[in-house]
Amino acid sequence: MNQPVAEHSQAAWQQAAKIVSVDARTVRVPLDRVMSFATRVVAARDYTLVRITTADGQQGIGFCYGGHRAGSLVTHAVRELFAPLLAGQCAINVEGLWRELYQESLLQGRAGSVMRALSIVDVALWDRNARAAGLPLARYLGGMSADRVPAYASGGYYVDGKTAQHLGDELAGYVEMGFRAVKMKVGRLSPREEEERIAAARSAIGADVQLMLDANNAWSDVPTALEYMRRYERYDPYWIEEPFSPDDIESHAQLARRTPVTVATGEIEAGRWRHQELLDKRAAMILQSDAAVCGGITEWRRIAAAAAGAGATMCPHWFHDLHVHLVASTENARYVEFFPDDQVLNFRRLVDRQLEFADGMLTVPTGAGLGFGFDEAALERYAVDAWG
């Protein structure tokens, strides 16, 4: 007797979750100071933003860094490739939609701008569904009981005129804020100059604070990487991040076998299959998969499950506002990468609420979905194009 009622209820929520619009736009936010790391110089950041609306008026948002040039490529992929496929679909069917979008983009994507576009859409769908359920995203994902998660302070960029002493002072400042782990850039200078920087950093933060090193694809061969690592090892770094091109998985594996420092990578890697190769070859035991890059929350969770089976740890890259939820809901996730100000991750200027932190821990948001929205006035200030 209850069957017709159940069928009516199911039809009602499916109708409510019907996607009626997918809007995207590009914004470009200049950095206050030009910053460098091993392989690039950055003066501004392009972000693609997405807003998905369903028939019941619920909205979900997604976002990604599109690069320091031509970020609108990501926006075009959302508008031209994915938005038409999503129209009229049920937003709750997240994994089914992921499969359809991925299959449709095989010729254009599987990585890079198109996979970032897919990731943004996927994040927006999860956000919409969590908001519709009235739950924080972490809880909607089956989050653990912790209301705070550990973070490391990310900084240590190269800036003209910035000395090793200045670097040490910067990292010591993060420790004074309560962080027990900090990260700095390496690989741009000579081995001797880099050792001077790392020595200053270790001296400034003390022996008990974890020091992460980020090479940003600095090296192209294992002997050169080892020349640097032999100098770095004496300062007890927790990890060496992105030592080689993301495509050079074999060199990651060779380095991992020849240095006691844990290799970390994956921030610009896409898809579970490439991450599986990293795990199979023991090329990295810390995966820094970015849900806004690798294929969205849907694919990030698959990667995290594979990592758990291999004894690897997830420490997601970038976008702390998103990844705080994933770390809080994933057993084998350890750290959120956190930027205490808007000088590097200037996406902070585009949102209407900032994460709370104390004693090196981030408070998991309690609002529905991601727990924040876009600051529309800020979007207009930095707009490259309009919503569409």
Q: Do 62 and 75 form a contact (C-beta atoms < 8 A)? A: no
- How far is residue 17 CA from its own chain's centroid? 27
Angstrom distances, CA of residue 360 to CA of 144, 170, 206, 210, 332: 19, 16, 16, 12, 19
**Burial of residue 352 (number of CB atoms within 10 Å: 0-12, 13-18, 19+):** exposed
* SS3 state of residue 155: coil
> What's residue 326's pLDDT?
97
> What's residue 357's pLDDT?
94
Q: Do 266 and 234 form a contact (C-beta atoms < 8 A)? A: no
The length of the chain in residues reads 388
Rg value, the chain, Cα: 21
> What's residue 39's pLDDT?
79
**340 DSSP 8-state letter:** S
* SS3 state of residue 151: strand
Portions of the chain given CATH number 3.20.20.120: 139-363
Q: Do 266 and 314 form a contact (C-beta atoms < 8 A)? A: no
- The count of C-alpha atoms lying within 13 angstroms of the C-alpha of 126, restricted to the half-sphere facing its C-beta, is 31
* SS3 state of residue 66: strand
Q: What CATH superfamily is the domain 3-134?
A: Enolase-like, N-terminal domain (3.30.390.10)
The phi, psi pair for 321, rounded to 5°, reads: -65, -30
- DSSP characters for 73-141? HHHHHIIIIIHHHHTT-BTT-HHHHHHHHHHHTTTT-SSHHHHHHHHHHHHHHHHHHHHHHT-BHHHHT
Tally of CB atoms within 10 A around 363: 14
Write down the pTM of the prediction. Answer: 0.95
Provide CB contacts within 8 A for 287, sequence distance 6+: 264, 265, 266, 275, 278, 279, 303, 304, 307, 312, 313, 314, 315
Could you read off the pLDDT of 62-120 as tens digits, one per residue? 999 998 888 899 999 999 999 999 999 999 999 999 999 999 999 998 899 999 999 99
> What gap in Å lies between CA 349 and CA 372, rounded to an integer?
12
Angstrom distances, CA of residue 201 to CA of 16, 128, 139: 54, 42, 37
Q: Do 174 and 155 form a contact (C-beta atoms < 8 A)? A: yes
Q: Which amino acid is at 17?
A: A
> What's residue 143's pLDDT?
78
> What's residue 135's pLDDT?
96
Q: Domain 139-363 adopts which CATH fold?
A: TIM Barrel (3.20.20)
- Looking up tokens 């908001």 gives 131
CA-based nearest residue to 377, from 354, 351, 358, 357: 351
Angstrom distances, CA of residue 193 to CA of 21, 164, 233, 305: 53, 9, 15, 40
Strands 313-314 and 336-338: unpaired
- How far is residue 338 CA from its own chain's centroid? 10
The phi, psi pair for 60, rounded to 5°, reads: -130, 150
Could you read off the pLDDT of 231-263 as tens digits, one per residue? 999 999 999 999 999 999 999 999 999 999 999
Residue ranges of the chain with per-residue pLDDT less than 50:
1
> What gap in Å lies between CA 81 and CA 86, rounded to an integer?
10
Angstrom distances, CA of residue 202 to CA of 158, 171, 227, 235, 238: 17, 9, 19, 7, 12
Portions of the chain given CATH number 3.30.390.10: 3-134
